[in-house]
């Protein structure tokens, strides 16, 4: 998109009709969405340039026709082998379908696209892990019930896979009569499972959403001692500490 095309698109998104949220959702709108996958209309309403710095960021791309960097781009991800079906990456939305079609057709190249399925919000259902799970990913009062994946309140592929790994290892250990392991909170996996099992739980019957899904990120790790200001060295320090602590924890918990 050129600058003009982009701002016309943002204006159209802002003016488009949205599905109205239920009252309880409206009250909690600010904290309802995971920051990593905000609907396009929420981003557009925050600031005119927010989409251009988010899912429409043109980093590393040049228009092959002009050699110029575009002002904004959309990414089409191929969805079938025949190459006839594509999805628009990062375009979660609550725009009503009629308006959605009109607005999306403003994207250069999509004026005559056939829309097979319109964008909609996905709902992420998760249990109140801080109150219900142990850091071994076992149910709080039943040893042989394990949870893993986004239902535990971890977010994303890596977090889900990591949860499956730990829950699987611990289920196998339990079956062999060995105690389940916990991972040090200085490792990314340990930090994530520590977060979901120790953070402040949801309060009240309808769940004032104090506990929200969490993605693996460096903010979960305890600071290095002494703190390291240089980013590369800090990450290298996190990695070295994680490996050393993991090694020690596995020896201590007799994991071979
Ligand atoms: C549009 C979209 C884009 C995303 N993009 C990214 C991304 O770019 N990067 C990233 O890291 N994460 C991304 N995520 C998040 C990521 O997909 C999830 O965090 C991850 O897939 C969760 O894995 P999971 O195995 O816990 O759950 P799921 O993948 O949801 O698997 C749960 C499975 O259980 C099955 N199931 C449900 N109920 C039952 C039942 N009663 N009996 C039997 N089976 C049942 C379901 O059919 C499903 O197959 C995205 C999510 C969405 C929706």
pLDDT value for 244: 97
Pocket probe mutation, ligand 1, options 146, 147, 157, max atoms within 8 Å of Cβ: 157
Say how far apart CA 163 and CA 153 lie, in whole Å. 10
Q: 203 pLDDT band (50/70/90 cuts)?
A: low
- On the question of pLDDT at 35 being above 70, the answer is no
The larger pLDDT score, comparing residue 28 to residue 1, is at: 1
The CA distances from residue 124 to 149, 155, 176, 214, in Å, are 11, 9, 34, 12
Find out whether 192 and 183 touch, Cβ atoms under 8 Å.
no
Provide the whole-model pTM. 0.72
* DSSP per-residue string spanning the chain: --HHHHHHHHHHHHHS-BPPPPHHHHHTHHHHS-GGG--HHHHHHH-TTTGGGTTT--TT---TTT-PPPS----EEE-STTS--EEETT----B-HHHHHHHHTTSTT-TT---SS---PPP-----HHHHB-TTSEETTEEEEE--SGGGTEESHHHHHHHHHHHHHHHHHHHTTPPPP---TTSHHHHHHHHHHHSPPPBTTTTBS-S--EE--GGGSPPPSS---SHHHHHHHHHHHHHHHHHHHHHHTT--
Q: 207 pLDDT band (50/70/90 cuts)?
A: very low
Above pLDDT 90, what percent of the chain?
68
**Residue range 104-155, pLDDT digits in tens:** 999 999 999 999 888 877 777 899 999 899 999 999 999 999 999 999 999 8
Structural domains for the chain: 3-104 (no CATH), 129-252 (3.50.50.60)
**Sequence-ordered list of residues with C-beta below 8 angstroms from that of 199, at least 6 positions apart, any chain:** 130, 211, 214
Q: Which class for 51: exposed (0-12), middle (13-18), buried (19 or more C-beta within 10 A)?
A: buried
Find out whether 89 and 55 touch, Cβ atoms under 8 Å.
yes
The stretch 56-81 carries a mean pLDDT of 92
- On the question of pLDDT at 36 being above 70, the answer is no
- Calculate how far, in angstroms, residue 65's C-alpha sits from the geometric centre of ligand 1: 38
pLDDT value for 208: 43
**Residue range 152-198, pLDDT digits in tens:** 999 889 999 999 999 999 999 999 999 999 999 999 999 999 999 98
Which atom of ligand 1 lies closest to the CA of 158?
11
Find out whether 190 and 182 touch, Cβ atoms under 8 Å.
yes
Q: 205 pLDDT band (50/70/90 cuts)?
A: very low
- Calculate how far, in angstroms, residue 161's C-alpha sits from the geometric centre of ligand 1: 11
Nearest CA to ligand 1 atom 52: 122
Residue 47: φ, ψ to 5°: -165, 145
- On the question of pLDDT at 256 being above 90, the answer is no
Which range (41-45, 72-76, 102-106, 199-203) has the least confidence?
199-203
Above pLDDT 70, what percent of the chain?
89
- On the question of pLDDT at 24 being above 60, the answer is no
């Amino acid at each position: 998109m050129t600058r003009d095309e982009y701002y016309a698109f943002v204006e159209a998104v802002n003016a488009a009709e949205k599905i109205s949220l239920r009252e309880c959702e409206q009250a909690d709108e600010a904290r309802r969405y995971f920051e990593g996958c905000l609907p396009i209309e929420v981003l557009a309403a925050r600031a005119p340039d927010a989409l251009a710095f988010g899912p429409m960021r043109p980093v590393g791309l040049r228009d092959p026709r002009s050699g110029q960097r575009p002002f904004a781009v959309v990414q089409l991800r191929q969805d079938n082998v025949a190459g006839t079906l594509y999805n628009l990456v990062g375009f979660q939305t609550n725009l009503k379908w009629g308006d959605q079609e009109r607005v999306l057709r403003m994207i250069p190249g999509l004026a005559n696209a056939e829309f097979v399925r319109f964008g909609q919000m996905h709902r992420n259902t998760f249990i109140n892990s801080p109150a219900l799970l142990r850091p071994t990913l076992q149910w709080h009062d039943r040893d042989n019930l394990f949870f893993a994946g986004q239902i535990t309140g971890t977010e994303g592929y890596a977090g889900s896979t990591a949860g499956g790994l730990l829950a699987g290892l611990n289920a196998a250990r339990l079956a062999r009569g060995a105690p389940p392991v916990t991972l040090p909170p200085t490792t990314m996996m340990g930090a994530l499972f520590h977060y979901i099992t120790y953070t402040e739980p949801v309060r009240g019957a309808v769940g004032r959403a104090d506990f929200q899904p969490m993605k693996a990120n460096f903010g979960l790790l305890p600071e290095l001692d002494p703190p390291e200001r240089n980013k590369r060295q800090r990450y290298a320090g996190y990695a070295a500490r994680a490996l050393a602590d993991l090694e020690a924890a596995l020896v201590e918990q007799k994991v071979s």
